[in-house]
Amino acid sequence: MTSLDLSPLATIPARQGSRRERRMMWRALAFVAPAALLMLAIYILPVLVLTGFSVTDYQLGALDWSVIGLGNFERAVSDPVFLRALVNTLIYAALVIPLGVGLALGIALLVHGTKRTRGLWEVAYFLPVTATLVAMATVWQFLLHPSLGPVNAAIRWLGFEPVAFLADPALLIPTMALMGIWQVLGFNMVLFLAGLTAIPKDLTEAARLDGAKSPVDRFLTVTWPMLGPTTMFVMVTTSISAFKVFEQVAVLTKGRQGSETLLYAIYLEGFEYAETGYAAALTLIFLALVLILSVGQTFKLDRKVHY
């Protein structure tokens, strides 16, 4: 009896509510639509197309093509140029990651200890981050010039043989890494400074009273463990940017003397030689490497919540 009476009363406001809710829903969809369409055009379709290309022998401009399955990937693992590019990129990363992170941490610790001069150091170390790397690579090319450059002049003045930074094939990747470290230091320093500022002062003071007399003890007891999440993050961003090294190669060598990096090899195959199918396969390998690093970063962001 009562339920019969109540049911129409109960449904009327619900229906009004759902109509209003539906109107809001359409508005929300209209808000999201441009971004969603762009997402489709810029991310989703290209990833699908890329995956499709990677199993074909398609060449841009060619009239016919065929599906060759994993042929492009088999070609990659036996392609000396690609393998050399992969090794070069790994060497580059192996230099840039430890030095770019370690030096940045050292600088951040020193800058964190200063008071009045802090702004000055921030400017000096961060300036390379804002500079256009292409232009600065040209400048480095001049600085490291065997006869004209100040760096070799200094080396000669110290009584050593000049170093052919940009001619000796063995030194090309380390020279590019030097520029990479130079540019990434300030970025990482600022991230570390933010991490250091977030450490409660109480903890450092408690450590002093607990007997951590030397700065090294305090660093190991408080600073280093508390910086853990920041360090992890800096490592990941530095390694992702190291895997994307491109400008130095484009300016300094154009891949000559076996100095290709991953991205430069992809650029050559895809855009210079129009080997679209093969370049797509190489791109997927590159993407897989970057995604492994990024997933590590997401995993780490979750852990940060614990602290």
Partner 1 sequence: MDLTRTLTATPALALHGVAKAFGGTPVLRGIDLDIREGEFLSLVGSSGCGKSTLLRIIAGLETQDRGTLEIAGRDVTDVDPSDRNLAMVFQSYALYPHMTVRENIATPLRMRRLPGAARLPLIGRLVPNQSDTRAGIDAAVREAAEVLQITPLLDRRPAQLSGGQRQRVALARALVRDPAAFLMDEPLSNLDAKLRAHMREELADLHARLGTTFVYVTHDQVEAMTMSNRIALMDAGEIAQLGTPSELYERPANLTVARFIGTPQMNVLPVEIAPGGTVMLFGRPTALAVRSAPGPATLGLRPEDLRLARTGWPAKVLRIEPHGADRYLTLELPGTGAGRLVLRQYAGAEVIPGDGQVHVDFAPERAHLFGADERRREVAQRAEQVA
Partner 2 sequence: MARFVPHLVLALGACVMLLPFYCMGLTAIRAPSEIFDISLWPIPEDFSAGRNFAKVEERVPMGRFMLNGVIVCAGILIVQVATAVPAAYALAKLKFPGKALFLALVVGALCVPMQALALPLFVGLAKAQLLNTYFALMAPFFLSVFAIFLFRQSFRSYPDEIIEAARLDGFSEFDICWRLVLRGSLPSLSAFAIFSVVAHWNDLYWPMIVVRDTALAPPPLGMLYFSDAESGADYGALMAGATLVTAPMVLCFLLARRQFIAGITMTGVK
Question: What part of residues 170-209 is at the interface with partner 1 (CB under 8 A)?
Answer: 200, 202-203, 205-209
Pick the closer one to partner 1 by CB: 168 or 210.
210
Residue 126: Cβ within 10 Å count = 14
Provide the token pair at 24. Answer: 């809001």
| Window contacting partner 2 (CB under 8 A); options: 65-73, 168-176, 199-207, 240-248 | 240-248
**Residue 134 interacts with partner 2 (CB under 8 A)?**
yes
Report long-range pairs for 215-220 (Cβ below 8 Å, ≥24 apart): 219/109
The span from the CA of 181 to the CA of 175, in Å, is 10
For partner 2, the closer CB: 9 or 158 = 158
Contact criterion met (CB below 8 Å) for 263 and 255: no
Identity of the residue, 92 or 121, whose beta carbon is nearer to partner 2 in the bound complex: 121
The CA-based angle 220-223-226, given to 5 degrees, is: 110
Nearer to partner 2 (CB atom), residue 66 or residue 147: 147
Q: Is 217 in the site for partner 2 (CB under 8 A)?
A: no
- How many CB atoms are located within 10 Å of the residue 253 CB? 20
Closer by beta carbon to partner 1, 228 or else 296: 228
Closer residue to partner 1 (CB): 214 or 298: 214
Please list the alpha-helical segments (H only) found in the chain: 2-38, 45-54, 71-77, 80-113, 118-130, 133-143, 150-157, 169-197, 201-209, 215-218, 224-226, 228-243, 247-252, 262-267, 276-304
Phi-psi region of 203 (alpha: psi -120 to 50; beta: other; left: phi over 0): alpha
Binding partner 2 (rule: CB under 8 A), the pick from 28, 62, 167, 220 is: 28
> Residues in the chain, how many?
307
115 is a contact residue toward partner 1 (CB under 8 A): no
CB of 188 to partner 1, least distance (A): 22
Among 6, 18, 74, 142, binds partner 2 (CB under 8 A): 142
CB of 230 to partner 1, least distance (A): 13
Site residues for partner 1, window 209-268 (CB under 8 A)? 209-214, 216-217, 220-222, 225-226, 228
Question: Of partner 1, partner 2, none, which one sits near residue 191, judging by CB under 5 to 8 A according to partner kind?
Answer: partner 2
Interaction partner, residue 209 (partner 1, partner 2, none; CB < 5-8 Å by kind): partner 1
* Binders of partner 2 in range 49-78 (CB under 8 A): 49-50, 53, 60
Question: What is the per-residue burial (b if ≥16 Cβ within 10 Å, else e) of 23-36?
Answer: eeeeeeeeeeeeee
Q: Residue 49 in 3-state DSSP? A: helix
Is 167 an interacting residue with respect to partner 2 (CB under 8 A)? Answer: no
When asked if residue 233 is in the footprint of partner 2 (CB under 8 A), the reply is yes
The residue ranges that bind partner 1 (CB under 8 A) are 200, 202-203, 205-214, 216-217, 220-222, 225-226, 228, 306-307
